[in-house]
Amino acid sequence: MRPRQSFWVRIRHVFELIAVMAFVMPMRFLPIDWASGFGGALGRCLGPRLPVSRVARANLRHAYPEKSDAEIETILRGVWDNLGRCLCEYPHLPHIWDVAEDGRGGGGRIDPAGASEFAALRESGKPAIIFGAHIANWELLPIAPARHGMPVTVLFRPPNNPMVAALLQRIREAAMGDLISTGVHTAIAAVEVLDRGGRLGLLVDQHALLGVPVPFFGRPAKVSALLGKLARRYGCEVRGSWIERLDGARFRINLTPPIALPPFTDDAAADATAIMAKVTSVGEEWVRARPEQWLWIHRRWRQ
């Protein structure tokens, strides 16, 4: 990067950090419900007018060709309501999941429906891979197992702005435990987690440039094959976990029983792709259950 270009990039990063802090950080001084409600209202008002909503509308029309334009717009407003709430809930992440394994505490914000599955996985003492998706406030996903005495090492993609990434990292570390940013070292770090019998968490619903194509809403979408390769190598449990927003800043955590993976063959690459197809199909079921809470503004299909 040329020095002059690098200078302006740094200036842009500074202004982006100031904008994030000016908007998000004051939310920490509001009650959680007020912050979440403000974010939802702002998202519903501004989000559908933003250019990126064209991506969401195109995605929704491909996924739901039977729905009318009015139905598509209703889902889109829900998408932006959820995103606005997620943004303003961010400073409250360490406090939202204030609930014990027996369901006590938390001010009624968390429905501990998945507590028994977390307890079973914790007591097994076995390594496991837990996959999730960008549904509801997905940032709560790593907090749930930690609150049930079962920390999970989470793979995450940091923002492109390193200053914003550092700010979010501090908030995340206060609530989530071990975090591994994605990059050239990701596979090695993931192997180390499973080698020591740990649990690995990752999101599997984003486009991966060098990924494998699998069906998603009837269309091929590329997904990273890392989970499939690790599951085949270790033969460990693979479970899905997703958050539902019930209303406002109230949530339900869901943890599936072990996913029945396709039988392994002598073709490692084909096996990994088959596993990712199965995992993606489970994620599609979640999205269909709560379409207004998924990240439709992401360019998931790029063929």
Identity of the highest mean pLDDT range in 17-21, 116-120, 203-207: 203-207
Q: How far apart are CA 219 and CA 213, in angstroms?
A: 9
Q: In what helix (H) or strand (E) does residue 130 lie, and over which residues does it extend?
A: strand 128-132
pLDDT value of residue 103: 44
233-275 pLDDT per residue, tens: 999 999 999 999 998 999 988 889 899 999 999 999 999 999 9
Question: The tokens 């029309």 sit on which residue?
Answer: 61
pLDDT value of residue 101: 47
Question: The tokens 């598509």 sit on which residue?
Answer: 72
Which two three-digit tokens encode residue 188? Answer: 């090695």
Which two three-digit tokens encode residue 55? Answer: 């991506």
30-40 pLDDT per residue, tens: 999 999 999 99
Look at strands 212-216 and 219-223 and give their pairing: antiparallel
Mean pLDDT of 13-37: 82
pLDDT band at 294 (very low <50, low <70, confident <90, very high): very high
Task: Tell me: pLDDT of 100 over 50.
Answer: no
Mean pLDDT of 88-107: 65
Residue 244 forms beta bridges with which residues?
Answer: 252
pLDDT value of residue 210: 87
Mean pLDDT of 11-33: 79
Task: Tell me: pLDDT of 76 over 70.
Answer: yes
Mean pLDDT of 180-193: 76
Residue 130 forms beta bridges with which residues?
Answer: 201, 239
**What ranges do the domains of the chain cover?**
3-293
Q: DSSP letter string over 44-104? A: HHHGGGSTTHHHHHHHHHHH-TTS-HHHHHHHHHHHHHHHHHHHHHGGGHHHHT-B-TTS-
Q: DSSP letter string over 199-258? A: EEEEE--S--TT-EEEEETTEEEEE--HHHHHHHHH--EEEEEEEEEEETTEEEEEEPSP
102-147 pLDDT per residue, tens: 444 445 687 767 667 777 777 777 889 999 999 999 988 887 777 7
pLDDT value of residue 35: 93
Mean pLDDT of 167-186: 66
Identity of the highest mean pLDDT range in 5-14, 56-65, 97-106: 56-65
Taking alpha carbons only, the member of 40, 222, 270, 244 closest to residue 132 is 244
